[in-house]
């Protein structure tokens, strides 16, 4: 038997909204990209709650537990071209050779949120291929050069969720 806790307070309609959790540490070069993307995207979409997930500490469980659907944006190294955006699910993150300073902890926190609160039901991870996640402030010149394309790709992904294309 599981004890299911219900996080309080939760505003009416909150479960229907979609959380976009942007991860990153602005003190680790391109790893801070998620923070920059949040500031760019948060005023462009009314159907999403953009959340600064920082470095993915345990406080994120409270955030995850409030939403049925969560999209996570994170800098990573999956062997792609700089600025490439790829969609992954949790199983793929574990199976494929993808590096992010947040994934190991993130997977455990999502599993704990599901165990305690049965949420989130649906998690999508958008990984952005970056160049440099070593200590230092600011984005690398190659990521900065690709920033408009990165934003455009993520916007297109989010628009597909709120305005699905009819085939």
The helices-and-strands tally (H runs, E runs) of the chain is 5, 5
Say which residues have a Cβ less than 8 Å from residue 107's Cβ, sequence separation at least 6. Answer: 90, 93, 94
Residue 115 lies in a domain: yes
Indicate whether 2 belongs to any domain: no
Whether residue 86 lies inside any domain: the answer is yes
Domain assignment present for residue 87? The answer is yes
pLDDT tens per residue across span 137-154: 999 999 999 999 999 999
Does some domain include residue 11?
no
The number of distinct structural domains making up the chain is 1
pLDDT in tens, 80-125: 999 999 998 887 776 555 555 545 577 788 888 999 999 999 999 9
The CATH number assigned to the domain holding 145 equals 3.40.50.1450
User: Per the domain annotation, does 21 fall within a domain?
Assistant: yes
Domain extent at residue 130: 17-162
């Amino acid at each position: 038997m599981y004890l299911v806790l219900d996080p309080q307070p939760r505003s009416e309609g909150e479960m229907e909204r979609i959380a976009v959790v942007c991860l990153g540490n602005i003190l680790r070069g391109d790893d801070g990209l998620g923070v920059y993307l949040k500031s760019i995207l948060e005023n462009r979409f009314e159907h999403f709650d953009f959340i600064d997930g920082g470095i993915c500490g345990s406080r994120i469980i409270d955030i995850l537990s409030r939403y049925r659907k969560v999209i996570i944006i994170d800098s990573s190294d999956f062997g792609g071209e700089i600025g490439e955006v790829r969609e992954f699910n949790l199983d793929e993150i574990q199976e494929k050779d993808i590096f992010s300073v947040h994934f190991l902890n993130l997977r455990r926190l999502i599993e704990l949120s599901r165990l305690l609160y049965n949420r989130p039901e649906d998690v999508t991870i958008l990984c952005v291929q970056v160049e440099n996640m070593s200590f230092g402030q600011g984005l690398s010149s190659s990521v900065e050069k690709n920033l408009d394309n990165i934003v455009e790709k993520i916007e297109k992904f989010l628009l597909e969720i709120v305005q699905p294309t009819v085939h």
